[in-house]
Structure 1
């Protein structure tokens, strides 16, 4: 950028009433500020506080969406509990994957309808990304229903078993 171009740039910026201009071209960086340092500092603070305010609003919206999602899950669980018997609990899938009723196709299933289970007993395995995840019972009781088939794909939160608790 030559001297005449810079001079023309200064003249144009002044005529347009610009208070700040920054240009970088051909390895040359030109920064022009018009006004006192306090004017520039006040404008910087204003922009910074506006950005912080926007970030806070985004975080609030994320929290509101998360709270709404949790409330919806609780509502679904409450509806399930009220329509079924009070002592009937559902075991849901904590991950997306493939449901396996046993650890090996030649072995019997971990549980069948009518099986008595205790808290911590393995109910099934869900394979996700080549990892075998044992799903354990969260309570003592009797398996009254198995809601998925062996080797079936399951979704996060999908009901797998119904257990009548003691």
Structure 2
């Protein structure tokens, strides 16, 4: 391991362990490191889906202020009986990007029909670009964050109406 020293790898392992990530992969100067947490991938997916379901059942109000215009919008999370709407949440803390570059179209916007596994956005964390994929087949009914906005672990990113 010429390009990465042991302390840097150990620090990376500790950082990933403290985060909500269940899968992480990095390649640097020919050295590739892959980390997975949990017994198996299906178990991790089931836990993430339960987390999404729990969060979609919470009723909250969030006030968003747009700096260019002095407008406030009130966004309500889905009601308990709205089982057809699912929320895709951020698995990490980082910066939300709606597209792969400044001149590129958004991966997903309101009205976009998406399939399970389709890329919805990118979240940059520790100089790594993490593609966030849809966990469901459906249609985007709301984008809950703005491009280049900081997001927290578990924060809602998209509302999807299931097919």
Aligned to 1:119, which of 116, 121, 128?
A: 116
CA contact (8 A) 2:52 2:89 kept: no
Which of 1 and 2 has greater Rg? 1
Aligned to 2:82, which of 79, 85, 97?
A: 85
Q: How many residues align?
A: 96
Q: CA RMSD in A?
A: 2.3
CA contact (8 A) 2:139 2:160 kept: yes
Cα distance in 2 between the residues matched to 1:129 and 1:103: 17
Residue 130 of structure 2 is matched in structure 1 by: 133
Point out where structure 1 has 5 or more consecutive residues left out of the alignment.
Answer: 1-70
CA contact (8 A) 2:112 2:140 kept: yes
Cα distance in 2 between the residues matched to 1:74 and 1:142: 17
Point out where structure 2 has 5 or more consecutive residues left out of the alignment.
Answer: 1-49, 60-77
Are residues 130 and 83 of structure 1, via their aligned partners in 2, closer, same or farther at CA, if it must alter by over 3 Å?
same
Q: Secondary structure at the match of 1:90?
A: strand
CA deviations on 1:108-139 (whole Å, 9 max, x unpaired) are 00011000000000000000000000000001
Are residues 84 and 102 of structure 1, via their aligned partners in 2, closer, same or farther at CA, if it must alter by over 3 Å?
farther
Alignment of 1:18-97 (within 5 A): 76-80=55-59, 82-83=79-80, 85-97=82-94
Q: In the TM superposition, what is the alpha-carbon distance from 1:143 to its structure 2 partner?
A: 0.1
Aligned to 1:152, which of 134, 137, 149?
A: 149
Cα distance in 2 between the residues matched to 1:100 and 1:73: 21
- TM-score in terms of structure 1 length: 0.53
Q: Secondary structure at the match of 2:58?
A: helix
- TM-score in terms of structure 2 length: 0.54
